[in-house]
Amino acid sequence: MGINIVEKILAGHLVSGNLTPGEEIGIRIDQTLTQDATGTMAYLQFEAMNVEKVITELSVSYIDHNTIQIGFENADDHCYLQSVALKFGVVLSRAGNGICHQVHLERFGKPGKTLIGSDSHTPTCGALGMIAIGAGGLDVAQAMAGEPFYLACPSVVRINLHGQLPPWVSAKDVILKVLEIFTTKGNVGTIFEYGGDGIASLSVPERATITNMGAECGVTTSVFPSDELTRLFLSSQRREQDYTELKADDDAAYARIIDIDLSQLEPLTAKPHSPDNIGTVHSMKGIPVSQVCLGSCTNSSYKDLVTVAKILKGRTVHPDVSFILAPGSRQVLDNLARDGYLADLIASGARLMENACGFCIGNSQSPRSGAVSLRTSNRNFLGRSGTMDADVYLVSPETAAVAVITGRFTDPRDLDMDYPQVQMPKNPVIDDSMIIWPDHADSSIEICRGPNIGDPPSNTPLPDILSGQVTIKVGDKITTDHIIPAGARMKYRSNIPRYSEFVFENVDTSFANRALALKEKGIHNIIVAGLSYGQGSSREHAAICPMYLGVRAVIAKSLERIHAANLINFGILPLSFLKDSDYDAIDQGDELEIPGLKATITEGRQLIVQNKTKGSSFPVTYNLSPRQKQMILAGGALNVRSSQ
Ligand code: MIC
Ligand code: SF4
């Protein structure tokens, strides 16, 4: 039997395990990426590993997230990242050069290679036919040190795209359709592999919109074949030498195959407050819109922004709308400027922002109270925009542009104009002068360490009896944005005691104080959660900060992949309920005890949780490989490393 694209790449990189879905495998990592919000901690951890230089083919550090500099903290982090990159031989993409995923796609991604990145949207580069996976910073640090990346061997779902998109329907609508089908829950351990005749009409940046938001489904990654369109894209980037063809064998097997007819799609939107809350734009018609934000790593390619420029040419932003524009990369901005489209956008009333994440993480451009905000980004979790009572809808650039003019949710097909055709520039401006390429690692470089930059914290070994309290009980789909907010709080990322003050800030403001008080009394904190706990970002701070507050276990109906791996890396036990009724029977404040942890986990037996408050007990499961058991028992990955 033939093999699929995922198997081809994984087989070529396998260093341990077998390609049997569910089994832990170790793979060699060719490339890594970090961004500043997760990067400082990742490089602090790398420093703690006492390795002289990065051992990958390519490691790139991007400064794109915390680029708003109110106070010294973010600027200090940038300085740290620049010095550490020079010291260890990491390529640095400076602030202003663009969003990591867009820049990596343009300048570095290569078909057939493996990439891990400390950002959940790393799968964007799957558009080039690579296995690109989001991971916690510590996993990325270990890969930079030449260690394999471990994951549960995924099962592969084939998504066949057929036909061609109708006018005014674009790649964003395709991935919103995929989200409607698969939702944000229940896809852990899966990879989406795209195929079908329809992909021949989707350029690499359009494919990237689709792979980018696979992250919202919680899949390990998404991948497209590398074909003639990939070659054209790489050649326009003057990197044709990086091209290799990559396709699935005709008789390749898949865990599941689904078909989507592109010609039947219509403009879609993800309604508040989840990327899988899908509705048609048509059914939203008429809702007044007060903000439109165009950009983010999902939809800020040259094609996206030129499409919008053509729609807006000669028209002006509606008086009730604030129109924010953040190009994905300096390359996109350069080319918009060269080709005259920037002038059209500015003439329409666009508020031009930096080439960075910006509004997408809510560090700026929070909408007004009660606003309806249309955004081309990938996440609309409650409060992420910085305004708790705003309604954020995720839409395509086309739907966004039309709302800029009408001030209302409008089906773009109703606009009285022909759908603009956009040609990719054959000879784009390519200027890498905001990228610093170290010739070699230089141990004499002195690291720039501002006062906000602390040591990476580590945990203590797992106690034999976990004796604690349910400090918080939460429901389904708790995202890492709920656990540790981003936005304006992100500047504390390098200072764990300070950042920890904001754990569950948007869910329960007294959590951090309660947890710390219990920790000081020697009582373990336990989090109880529903389905899909930890969805969203790769933020390892959603594990590190709870660890700092004394959280020792999370018991959930189910946990998302990256978050579960982060919990293990920092010595927090991820446990799952066997029955929903056991979740129902627990209350916040209950005292729980789990005895005999060391022997039970070592021998792989079921753990029994005693609820001392209720006088009852219930079993829980865990899914830990021998390597992960060692980490949990030692209190985290750094402890394992230092004991070797
Ligand atoms: C996000 O989109 O939430 C982020 C900010 O890019 C995160 C990374 C982070 O928390 O720094 C992600 O998606 O992993
Ligand atoms: Fe940046 Fe937003 Fe993309 Fe995260 S989702 S990498 S914050 S643009």
The bridge status of strand 268-270 relative to strand 278-280 is antiparallel
**Is residue 552 located within the same domain as residue 403?**
no
CA 574 from centre of chain: 20
442-454 tens-digit pLDDT? 999 999 999 999 8
User: What percent of the residues of the chain are helix, what percent strand, and what percent coil, each to the nearest 5?
Assistant: 35, 20, 45
Q: Residue 543 belongs to a domain with what CATH number?
A: 3.20.19.10
Range of the domain at 199: 5-264
72-105 tens-digit pLDDT? 999 999 999 999 999 999 999 999 999 999 999 9
Last residue in a domain, options 264, 287, 311: 264
Indicate which atom in ligand 2 lies nearest the CA of residue 298.
3
Residue 20 domain flag: yes
**Is residue 48 located within the same domain as residue 178?**
yes
191-227 tens-digit pLDDT? 999 999 999 999 999 999 999 999 999 999 999 999 9
**571: exposed, middle or buried (Cβ count in 10 Å: 0-12, 13-18, 19+):** buried
> Average pLDDT of the chain?
97
For residue 121 and ligand 2, the question of a CB distance below 6 A is answered with yes
Last residue in a domain, options 366, 396, 412: 412
For residue 473 and ligand 2, the question of a CB distance below 6 A is answered with no
Total number of domains in the chain: 3
**Is residue 402 located within the same domain as residue 508?**
no
How many A from CA of 544 to the centre of ligand 2? 21
Indicate which atom in ligand 2 lies nearest the CA of residue 119.
6
Q: Residue 366 belongs to a domain with what CATH number?
A: 3.30.499.10
Indicate which atom in ligand 2 lies nearest the CA of residue 37.
7
Using a pLDDT cut of 90, give the percent of the chain over it: 97
Closest CA to 153 of 254, 25, 10: 25
Alpha carbon separation from 481 to 271, 361, 380, 385 (Å, rounded): 17, 9, 10, 11
Q: Whose CA is nearest to atom 6 of ligand 1?
A: 119
pLDDT at residue number 439 = 85
Which pTM does this prediction carry? Answer: 0.97
Residues 275, 216 contacting (CB under 8 angstroms): yes
DSSP string, 316-343: ---TT-EEEEE-SBHHHHHHHHHTTHHH
**Is residue 516 located within the same domain as residue 580?**
yes
Pocket test for ligand 1, best of 62, 537, 544, 561 (most atoms within 8 A of CB): 537
596-618 tens-digit pLDDT? 999 999 999 999 999 999 999 99
pLDDT at residue number 643 = 81
For residue 360 and ligand 2, the question of a CB distance below 6 A is answered with yes
Residue 458 domain flag: no
199-209 tens-digit pLDDT? 999 999 999 99
Ligand nearest, relative to CA of residue 295: 2
Last residue in a domain, options 397, 412, 427: 412
**Is residue 259 located within the same domain as residue 272?**
no
Q: What is the dihedral of CA 636, 639, 641, 644, to 10 degrees?
A: -130
